[in-house]
């Protein structure tokens, strides 16, 4: 029984059940590889769902600070609403990058590059390392 039935915990529970119940009864090697890949995917999805909303809100605030915009009130924490606000902020970031290059603003270009590097690092932290199970 799950005491915290959050999406991340449900995904981990499925992965654990596949490993402890299904995998021991599988003898076919390609099926074992497929189960390993499913396990890895479920664990990555679990990590992402556990922090996705917080990650997007934090990044929206960083983007807006970097480009000099006010962060509007994020009164809804529905994933779809936060994802929409994240997409809008990402578009504004793209526009700011274009503008900085058009104006030759080296200081702003450097600041935005750093923001993009941090964004990529955060995505990799959340998504984790993809090991190619059975592909070695």
Domain boundaries of the chain, sorted by first residue: 7-127
pLDDT at 106: 96
Binning pLDDT at 50, 70 and 90, where does residue 135 land? Answer: low
pLDDT at 75: 86
What average pLDDT does the chain have? 89
The alpha carbon of 129 is separated from its chain's Cα centroid by a whole number of angstroms, namely 12
The pLDDT tens digits of the residues spanning 44-66 come to 899 888 888 999 999 999 999 99
Helix, coil or strand: residue 64: helix
**pTM score, whole prediction:** 0.77
Contact assessment for residue 55 and residue 82, using Cβ atoms and an 8 Å cutoff? no
pLDDT at 129: 62
Task: Decide if pLDDT at 134 tops 90.
Answer: no
The pLDDT tens digits of the residues spanning 3-51 come to 778 999 999 999 999 999 999 999 999 999 999 999 989 998 998 888 8
CA atoms within 13 A on the CB side of 66: 27
Q: What average pLDDT does the segment 109-117 reach?
A: 94
Contact assessment for residue 44 and residue 128, using Cβ atoms and an 8 Å cutoff? yes
């Amino acid at each position: 029984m799950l005491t915290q039935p959050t999406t991340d915990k449900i995904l981990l529970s499925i992965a654990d059940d596949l490993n402890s119940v299904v995998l021991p009864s599988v003898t076919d090697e390609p099926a074992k590889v497929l189960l390993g890949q499913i396990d890895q995917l479920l664990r990555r999805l679990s990590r992402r769902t556990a922090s996705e909303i917080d990650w997007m809100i934090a990044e929206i605030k960083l983007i807006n600070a970097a480009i000099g915009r006010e962060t509007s009130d994020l009164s809804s924490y529905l994933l779809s609403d936060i994802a929409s606000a994240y997409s809008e902020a990402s578009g504004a970031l793209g526009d700011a990058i274009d503008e900085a290059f058009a104006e030759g603003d080296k200081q702003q270009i450097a600041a935005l590059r750093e923001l993009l590097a941090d964004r990529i690092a955060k995505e990799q932290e959340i998504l984790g390392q993809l090991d190619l199970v059975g592909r070695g």
